Amino acid sequence: MQIQKKQFKDKLLDWIIFFVLGAFLINPFLGLIAIFGLIFYFFKNKNALDLQLSKYSKSINAFSNNLARIESIHNSTSVRKIFLQNNQLKTLSLEFPKKNLIFKAPQLRLEKRKRYLQVALNNTINEAIQIISQIPYSKRILIEVGTPMIKEYGIKAISEIKQMAPLGSYIVADNKCADLGSREVEMMANAGANASTCLGVAPIETIDTFIEECEKYKIDSMIDMMNVEDPLSVLKKLKKLPRVVILHRGVDESEFSKEKQIPYYQIKQIKGNYNLLVSVA
């Protein structure tokens, strides 16, 4: 009996679609009533909608994982292209000759009182497909398109990861802006990123411009304080505060200077003076 209930719940979205279509075939007026009833139900039970979308995304991601395996065997990028074309329906993506626009609703922003887990994708698109297929949908999981991936594939990597990830996923573009803050934010936002990063060692003018442009494009600004001795002094010089401050050691630094620790005392310093999210890695 429990198995039957589980099977019914797993196919709930399919049953709802069939019901609405059936109502329209019988009488368009009944179809409209069914749609309004559906909207009301999911408005009252938002978690139910998230669950159904999550299950749908998992099926899409499982499919992409299988394609990645096929691609690795046949050494062809055409398989991935087919997947991305089919998967465009998931994010309602429209690709134009020189610009890729991804329509998503609503704009995703981080909440200061919540905690998040960030998953970094730093290698190949194929590896990213395999990792993403194992990531469940959650508002607390952030998917990072790492600096090496952006350098290898360009901003196209952000668009592709956006399409592969579960519907509604929060995408961080770790572009590490050091100059031309306005241009870089525009590029990351148009590619589909929900957040962009800027180096804390960049000129204050660049950081100010970066934060201002992030607000303009309604994405979160993240300032990476790697190799910054006193992050608090940088924050005090800014016209506006970023959404997130990142404290972490670089990969090379972690590998060759294992005795060097993350200065956790700086978290208290920053949180004691500003109402900001602090990311630690």
pLDDT in tens, 9-28: 455 556 666 676 777 677 77
> All domains of the chain, ordered by start, with CATH?
2-44 (no CATH), 63-280 (3.20.20.70)
List pLDDT tens digits, range 122-161. 999 989 988 998 888 888 999 999 999 999 999 999 999 9
Supply 106's token pair. Answer: 């609503």
Please give the pLDDT value at position 61: 53
Say if residues 249 and 216 touch (Cβ distance below 8 Å): no
pLDDT, position 227:
87
Predicted confidence at residue 90, as pLDDT, reads: 45
Q: Is residue 223 classed exposed, middle or buried when 0-12, 13-18 and 19+ CB atoms within 10 A define those classes? A: buried
Q: How far is CA 176 from the centre of its chain?
A: 16
- Listed residue (171, 240, 244) closest to 212, CA to CA: 240
pTM: 0.65
Give the closest residue to 280 by CA, choosing from 257, 259, 264.
264
DSSP 149: H
Asked if the bond preceding 106 is cis, omega within 30° of 0, the reply is yes
3-class SS of residue 94: strand
CB of 30 closer than 8 Å to CB of 140: no
How much is the pLDDT for 186? 96
Residues of the chain with pLDDT below 50 are 1-9, 69-70, 72-79, 82-83, 85-106
Q: Is 77 exposed, middle or buried (0-12, 13-18, 19+ CB in 10 A)?
A: exposed
Residue 266 CA to residue 230 CA, distance in Å, equals: 8
Q: What is the pLDDT of residue 22?
A: 72
Q: Which secondary-structure segment (H or E) carries 141?
A: strand 141-145
Residues 162, 150 contacting (CB under 8 angstroms): no
pLDDT at 53: 59
Asked if residue 128 lies in contact with residue 148, where contact means CB atoms within 8 angstroms, the answer is no
